[in-house]
Amino acid sequence: MAFSQSSQSSPQSTPFRKRILTGDRPTGKLHLGHYVGSLANRVRLQDEYETYILIADVQALTDNFETPEMLRANIREVVLDYLAVGLDPQKCAFVIQSLVPEIADLTIFYLNLVSVARLQRNPTVKDEMHQKGYGDNVTAGFLCYPISQVADITAFGAHLVPVGEDQRPMIEQTQEIVDKFNRLYGEDGAEGVLVRPEGMYAEFGRLPGTDGAAKMSKSVGNVINLADDEKTITQKVMAMYTDPNRVTGREPGNVADNPVFTYHDAFNGDKARVAELKEMYARGGVDAEGKLLLGDVKIKRELAAALNAFLEPIRARRREYSLDEDFVWDVVRAGTLRGRARAGEVMESVRGAMKIDYFR
Contacting residues toward ligand TRP, per CB under 6 A: 21-25, 54, 56, 59, 149, 152-153, 161, 163, 167
Least Å from the CB of residue 242 to ligand TRP: 28
Cα distance between residue 57 and residue 97, in whole Å: 6
How far apart, in whole angstroms, are the C-alpha atoms of residue 217 and residue 35? 13
In the complex with ligand TRP, the residue whose CB is nearer, 147 or 163, is 163
CB 61, min distance to ligand TRP, A? 12
- Nearer to ligand TRP among residue 163 and residue 240 (C-beta): 163
As a whole number of angstroms, the distance between CA 223 and CA 31 comes to 6
Q: State the alpha helices, DSSP H only, in 211-295.
A: 230-238, 259-267, 271-283
- Minimal distance, residue 286 CB to ligand TRP, in Å: 43
CA–CA gap between residue 258 and residue 265 (Å, rounded)? 11
Provide the 3-class DSSP secondary structure of residue 290. coil
Question: CA nearest 243: which of 290, 173, 296, 300?
Answer: 296
CB of 105 or CB of 230, closer to ligand TRP: 105
Segment (H or E) for 11: none
Nearer to ligand TRP, 96 or 311 (CB): 96
Pairing between β-strand 92-96 and β-strand 160-163 as defined by DSSP bridges: unpaired
Distances (CA, A) of 327 to 130, 229, 348: 39, 23, 32
Find the shortest distance in angstroms from Cβ 148 to ligand TRP. 8
Is 24 or 243 the residue whose CB approaches ligand TRP more closely? 24
Shortest Å, Cβ 141 to ligand TRP: 14
Burial label for 230, CB within 10 Å (0-12, 13-18, 19+), is: middle
Minimum CB distance to ligand TRP smaller for 162 or for 285: 162
To ligand TRP, the closest distance from the beta carbon of 132 in angstroms equals: 14
Pairing of strands 198-201, 160-163: parallel
